[in-house]
Structure 1
Amino acid sequence: MALGLAAALTMASFLAVSAAASEGLSTSTYYVAVENKLPAGAGMDLVCRALGGELFTEWSVVPRGHMPKGGRRVVELLVDGEGRYAQVVCSWAYQGNYVGGMSLLDSRWPEAKGCRNPRASGGMCRIVFEDDKVRFEAPGGGTRVIGDLSVKSYPDHPNPYAGRVLRNALEYFGV
């Protein structure tokens, strides 16, 4: 059932982009694999939405829900119109830690251009949650640290947090 729904959403976005192309509207599509390499066996929760753009951005496919350890989800971000941009913004939960407003992908990032062709020789772009940070990896070798991940002890960390640290689950579900 889930595979059928994903296929239907992908087909719907393909048809929307095809219709836009036939009407002379330009669209760009970005593909990114989101990977959970965090150590906890219980996994993490990631609730995302696509922002910016106009109509076609709303057809983007973004992660919503639980990602087990070693799990992977694919983001398909649609950006409509020349000169427009879109981004994927998420709320993240992991072992009692909560973050809101985490920007995982922005079509304005220079490295994001490598995410337009998922079949390129370097493979698909990746967003990796690992150890104490989340990073963006482009097929050409470009890496961007999106930010550090909050943990219960909030130790010193070299990068700003990836998003806004929330105090509890009530704030997480209220975002």
Structure 2
Amino acid sequence: MVRLAAVAVAAALAALAAVAGATESYYALVENRLPSSGGMDLVCHAVGGNGILTDFSVVPRGHLPRGDAGRRVVELIAEEEDKSKAAKPKPKPAADEIDLAGGHVAFVRCNWAYAGNYLAGIMLMDTRWPEAKKCQEPGGAGGMCRVVFEGQEARLETPDGGVRVFGDLPVKRCRRSWLLFSSECAYPDHPHPYAGRRLGNAFQFFAV
């Protein structure tokens, strides 16, 4: 209820922002279906490139328990910057913030942690996804798009029944674990590239 209220507030703010420039919103329901009852952690940021603002977006930060209790709504609000107003010079955008066709780009990028496993740069929403337009009607008959963490993969499920795995999860198997450290660990084979950049430990996770 709190998350949905936050989305409603963000949508209202986006409506006000639309007066100054074109605004588009994208929605996804994030679900943790990983087996551990300990849950997983996400630290996310909305990023806009090439003249796009994402200030009013709603993104998950913190602990996500397993199952329904861990569901989080992501709303990515991509607002076209009002070029009529004086603005401070911005640094040159990174390569992943520029659309190859020169269009506007926005995405939600996260750090992911689960049972001593860590990834940086995992995407929960990206306006460049081929399915992005299907994630713009949260109240549609098919419901929201879903970003599901389950087994050894992260996947996108669209309201029309489409499914796309956008990366595997590095769930290592260790013989010994102690606080933040593990030993005698191995990562099983996986059919897809990892959904982000694999990190070695919690210190790297918090430093990114």
**CA shift at 1:108, angstroms?**
1.2
How far does residue 128 in structure 1 lie from its aligned partner after superposition?
0.2
Which of 1, 20, 26 matches 1:30?
A: 26
* 2:198 is aligned with 1:165: yes
Greater C-alpha radius of gyration:
2
Tell me the distance in 1 between the aligned counterparts of 2:188 and 2:80.
43
1:139 aligned residue: 159
Q: Which stretches in structure 1 are left out of the alignment for 5+ residues?
A: none
Distance 1:7 1:121, change over 3 A: closer
Please tell me whether the aligned partners of residues 107 and 125 of structure 2 are also in contact (alpha carbons under 8 angstroms): yes
- Listed one character per residue, the Cα deviations across residues 39-72 of structure 1 (whole Å, up to 9, x for unaligned) are 0010000111111145741210001000001120
Q: Give runs of ≥4 in structure 1 deviating > 6 Å.
A: none
Q: What amino acid maps onto 2:131 in structure 1?
A: E
Residue 18 of structure 1 and its aligned partner are, at CA, apart by 2.0
| AA partner of residue 75 (structure 1) | V
Are the counterparts in 2 of residues 45 and 65 from structure 1 also a CA contact under 8 Å? yes
Contact kept, 8 Å, 2:52 with 2:80, in 1: the verdict is no
Q: Which segment drifts farther, 134-143 or 162-171?
A: 134-143
Code of the residue aligned with 1:168 in structure 2: it is N
Residue 7 of structure 1 is matched in structure 2 by 5
Q: Under a length normalisation based on structure 1, what TM-score does the superposition of the two structures give?
A: 0.90
1:58 pairs, out of 48, 55, 69, with: 55
Question: Given the superposition, is the C-alpha separation of residues 86 and 127 from structure 1 closer, same or farther in structure 2, using an over 3 Å criterion?
Answer: same
Give the residue type in structure 1 aligned to 2:74.
V
What are structure 2's unaligned runs of at least 5 residues?
82-102, 173-185
Q: 1: CA distance between counterparts of 2:196 and 2:151? A: 16
Q: How many residues align?
A: 171
Partners of 2:14 and 2:56 within 8 A in 1: no
Structure 2 residue 63 is the aligned partner of structure 1 residue 43? no
Q: CA deviation at 1:120?
A: 1.2
Q: CA deviation at 1:110?
A: 1.4
User: Alignment partner for residue 65 of structure 2, among 68, 71, 75?
Assistant: 68
Deviation at 1:151, TM superposition (A): 1.4
Q: How large is the RMSD of aligned CA atoms in angstroms?
A: 2.0
Cα deviation for residue 81 of structure 1 reads 2.4
Which one has a larger percent helix, Structure 1 or Structure 2? 1
Is contact 1:16-1:56 (8 Å) kept? no
55 and 10 in structure 1: CA distance in 2 versus 1, 3 angstrom threshold: farther
Structure 2 counterpart of 1:105: 125
Q: Does the CA-based 8 Å contact 1:112-1:138 persist in structure 2?
A: no
Alignment correspondent of 2:77: 78
Residue 114 (1) aligns with residue 134 (2)? yes
TM-aligned CA deviation for residue 14 of structure 1:
2.9
Q: Distance in 2 between matches of 1:48 and 1:109?
A: 18
Shift in CA distance, 132/8, structure 1 to aligned 2, threshold 3 Å:
closer
